[in-house]
Amino acid sequence: MFEYRFYECTPGRLAEEVARMKEVAIDPWPGGGGESLFDRFGIPRPLGAWTSIAGRQQPVFGYILKWDSLDARDRAFPPFWTCPEWAEVRTRTDDGHPLVDSIEDWLLAPNAAWKRTGEIDATRHGGVHEMRIHRCLAGFGPQVTAYLAEIEHRQIEVLGGRILGVFDVAIGPDMPAIVSFVAWPDFPTQQRAAERLDMEPRVRERHRQWRDEYGRSPIRSVEQTLLRPLDYGLPLSNFGLSS
């Protein structure tokens, strides 16, 4: 199971939030023998960490964690939240006013459209990332999954993007929804691809078939958030997971 946590930051304080996360999750904790504070509590390193460039609830800082057990997760995180070290970091970095306005925490499960083929290498993906949320009509998850696997994700790769991961929202608002993370080399490539994707004959053909068959599209809406991967959270291909 994957946990996607995103923090609505107080305007003007995103950089401080990013630095605070690095201090507790990544940097060796003083006297910790090279371990970070997260490491000490058994909280895994983020598979990816981002700030958002465009999308709703600006500014946003988010990261994704992988857990083998959610019960283990609930033995690891709460002791961290109440430890004196975190209290000290939090008070110091809040500096009189909270850095975060609210937190949202979704649980994501791998979706069947996530093929995890291609080389599993040590490449870390920078550039511009995009989180695409396809909100589906209830009962039409399989149709949207098939469309993503057969058409949209292929086109994205032809147009220069890399699919990092594809997930069903397992716990969260406004379900059913499918989340795809895409890495683009740069912003102009993403822009050009967005335009081309909309005109792509196979995309249009699938929409026409859907209209004929169901009278409407099984996709209720697509939400696109542009993300900037952080130096300490550059995702590996397929988030480092093999098939």
Nearer to another protein, 75 or 92 (CB): 75
Q: Are 25 and 76 in contact (CB under 8 A)?
A: no
Nearest distance from C-beta of residue 60 to another protein, angstroms:
12
Nearer to another protein, 102 or 209 (CB): 102
Nearer to another protein, 85 or 104 (CB): 104
Residue 50 is encoded by which pair of tokens?
């981002």
Ramachandran angles phi, psi of 7, nearest 5°:
-115, 125
Q: How many CB atoms neighbour CB 42 within 10 A?
A: 13
Crossing angle between the packed helical segments 84-94 and 14-25, to the nearest 10 degrees: 160
Nearest distance from C-beta of residue 209 to another protein, angstroms:
18
Nearest distance from C-beta of residue 16 to another protein, angstroms:
15
> In this structure, what DSSP letter does residue 236 have?
B
Nearest distance from C-beta of residue 88 to another protein, angstroms:
17
Distance (Å, whole) CA 35 – CA 175 = 38
Nearer to another protein, 102 or 117 (CB): 102
Q: Closest Cα to residue 233, out of 129, 162, 140?
A: 129
Nearest distance from C-beta of residue 74 to another protein, angstroms:
6
Distance (Å, whole) CA 219 – CA 144 = 7
Binding site for another protein (CB under 8 A): 1, 69-71, 73-75, 94, 97-98, 100-107, 109, 135, 137-139, 170-176, 220
Torsion of CA 163, 166, 172, 174, to 10 degrees: 80
Q: Are 240 and 66 in contact (CB under 8 A)?
A: no
Nearer to another protein, 124 or 220 (CB): 220
Report the run of H or E that residue 101 belongs to, with start and end: strand 100-110
Nearest distance from C-beta of residue 194 to another protein, angstroms:
25
Nearer to another protein, 136 or 193 (CB): 136
